[in-house]
Amino acid sequence: MNRKQITFWLFLFLLFPTATFAQQATRMDIQVLESKITNLETIVREMDKRLTNQISELDKRLTAQIQAVQTTMAEMDKRMTTQINVLFWAIGALVAVVLAVIALPQLLGYFQEKRARADFQKEIDGLKQRLEQQQQEIESLKSRRLAMPS
C-alpha cells in the first residue's frame, strides 16, 4: 500500500465514529442530561454549604485565636511598661547614688572647712583677747614702774 491509500483509510476510519455519534439528541437523552445536571447542581449546592460551614468555623476559630493573641499582646505590653518604669526608677536611683557619692565628700569638706574657719576665728578672737589683756598688764606694769621709782 502506498501512502495515499493509507491516508484514505485512516481518514475514513477517523470519520466513521464521528458520523455515527453525530445524531440528533432524543428527548430521552435530554432528560438524562437534565437529571445529571440537576444531580450535579445538588452536589455543588451541598459542597457549597459544606464549604460555607467550614469557612465560617475556620473564621470563628481564627477570630478566637486573634483575640487570644491580642489579649496576650496587651498583657505583654502591660508587663513591658511595668518593667520599663522599674528600669527608669532604677536608673534614677543609680544616678542619685552616683551624684551622692560625688557630692557628699565635697559637702563634708565644705562643712569641715566652715567649722575649721569658725574654730580658727574663735581661736583668733581668744588670742586677740589674751593679747589685749597682756598689753593691759604691760601697760599697768609700766605705769606702776613709773609710779614707783626705784
**How would you write the pLDDT of the chain (150 residues) with one tens digit per residue?**
688 888 877 777 776 665 555 567 678 888 888 999 999 999 999 999 999 999 999 999 999 999 999 999 999 999 999 999 999 999 999 999 998 888 888 888 888 988 989 989 999 999 999 999 999 988 888 887 776 665
Per-residue model confidence (pLDDT) at position 23:
64
Per-residue model confidence (pLDDT) at position 33:
87
Per-residue model confidence (pLDDT) at position 142:
81
Q: Which three cell numbers stand for residue 74?
A: 496587651
Count of residues making up the chain: 150
Q: In whole angstroms, what is the distance from residue 27 CA to residue 33 CA?
A: 10
Per-residue model confidence (pLDDT) at position 143:
81
Q: How far is CA 126 from CA 69, 130, 131, 150, in A?
A: 83, 6, 9, 35
SS3 content of the chain, % helix, strand, coil (to 5): 95, 0, 5
Residues near 33 by beta carbon (within 8 Å), at least 6 away in sequence: 25
Q: Position 124: which residue type?
A: I
Per-residue model confidence (pLDDT) at position 150:
56
Per-residue model confidence (pLDDT) at position 45:
94
Q: In whole angstroms, what is the distance from residue 17 CA to residue 8 CA?
A: 15
Per-residue model confidence (pLDDT) at position 21:
56
